[in-house]
Structure 1
Amino acid sequence: MADPVGTFEQVIALEPQHEALVRALRALASELHPDRIEVSRPGDRAVSWGWGPKKMSEAYACALPYKDHVNLAFYRGATLADPAGKLRGSGKAMRHMSLTRVDQLNDQAVRDLLVAAREERRQALRLTD
């Protein structure tokens, strides 16, 4: 079976019209978590960020480019405080927000959700600073 892990460039190539937005999301993830583990999975249409390579247990967020938008998804978003009401979805754990422009990343609520997701996973994995 082929390894599902690919490159960031392969994920961008799926929807090149969103390259600037996906790169900006990557830069924001790097700013908020410089030591993050990034895993690109073109088969899942996603690049994820977390404390390790396992998407469902160690990752906390991912970018998924689609034709008309990019979803910023949180693997355990249902547990996150979302006072600005940015998150959508009705699954057991995952929530997402749809983004179409780089300037949407200036919204403090986006940053707050990424930090909250990072910290939720750090605590769940019992990692120390």
Structure 2
Amino acid sequence: MADGKFGSFADLEALAENEVRPLMAALRGVILAVHPDAVEVVRLGDRAATYGVGPKKMSEGYCYVMPQKAWVNLGFYHGVSLRDPDVLLEGTGKRLRHVKLHDTDGCFSPEVRTLIEAALAERKAAF
């Protein structure tokens, strides 16, 4: 269960394995390139950084970066509503979906960028 502690992206990187830190930085860069005004909220209890049109995780957030031991999940809070022609999204939850990224090439792929753009558009349309 999340303890609600907030921090910086550097704090989150410090919690992650050295091998996945470049992936985290790459994903953050792509997200901020797509949405320079993104609201970044790092919840250390969740071990994730959320990006959104506002600070509320589930209603205003559109994606998150969550490091694992050997990969990084790029998650989408409303992933079930995203078009996924390349079948990158995984998960069985009611709304959440994620992409497992194992290398920086995947982070910079046009397909990943398209998912981020679609998730941002979906959240902007919701408000």
Matches within 5 A, 1:1-129: 4-15=5-16, 16-125=18-127
| 1:85 Cα offset (Å) | 0.2
Preserved CA contact (<8 Å) 2:71 2:102: yes
| 1:19 Cα offset (Å) | 1.1
Gaps of 5+ in 1: none
Q: Higher RCO, 1 or 2 (CA under 8 Å, sep at least 6)?
A: 2
Q: How far apart, in 2, do the equivalents of 1:42 and 1:100 lie? A: 22
Q: What are the Cα deviations for residues 32-90 of structure 1, in whole angstroms up to 9, with x where unaligned?
A: 00111011111101011110111111010000001011000000001100000000001
Preserved CA contact (<8 Å) 2:30 2:108: no
State the identity %.
44
| 1:9 Cα offset (Å) | 1.1
Gaps of 5+ in 2: none
Scaled by the length of structure 2, the TM-score of the pair is: 0.93
* RMSD, aligned CA: 1.1
Letter matched to residue 31 of structure 1: A
79-88 or 15-24, larger mean C-alpha shift: 15-24
| 1:100 Cα offset (Å) | 1.1
Letter matched to residue 10 of structure 1: D
Change (3 A) 1:96 1:3: closer
| 1:108 Cα offset (Å) | 1.2
Scaled by the length of structure 1, the TM-score of the pair is: 0.92
